[in-house]
Amino acid sequence: MKAYYLSFNISAVTVKNLFCLWIWIIISVNSFSQSPAGTWKTIDDNTGKEQSYVRIYETKSGNLQEK
């Protein structure tokens, strides 16, 4: 049985691409961890006009509540 070995020649372009991929992954993970807390505008489905604003906030225990 013959053994085959792969040799990799990592160029500067490959290192740059890997670095960009790594940065993109970190940014993506951080964007998924955002909280829905904040002020939200409700819109009427029939008219498309604003109805009200809802404030969602996080309590000290980590629960979400609205005002």
Q: Does the residue 4 lie in any domain?
A: no
Task: Specify if 36 maps to a domain.
Answer: yes
Q: Provide the domain limits for residue 54.
A: 12-66
Q: Kindly indicate the confidence band of residue 62, based on its pLDDT and cuts at 50, 70 and 90.
A: confident
Distance CA 2, CA 60 (A): 64
**Average pLDDT of the chain, as a whole number:** 81
> Is a pLDDT exceeding 90 seen at residue 55?
yes
Domains held by the chain: number: 1
Q: How much is the pLDDT for 5? A: 61
In a domain, 39, yes or no: yes
Q: What is the mean pLDDT of residues 56-62?
A: 89
- Residue 31's Cα: distance from chain center in Å? 2
Q: Is residue 5 part of a domain?
A: no
Taking residue 31's Cβ as centre, other Cβ atoms within 10 Å add up to 8
Residue at 32 is within a domain? yes
Q: What pLDDT, on a 0 to 100 scale, did the predictor assign at position 36?
A: 83
6 assigned to some structural domain: no
| Segment 17-46 mean pLDDT | 83
Q: What SS3 state is found at 4?
A: coil
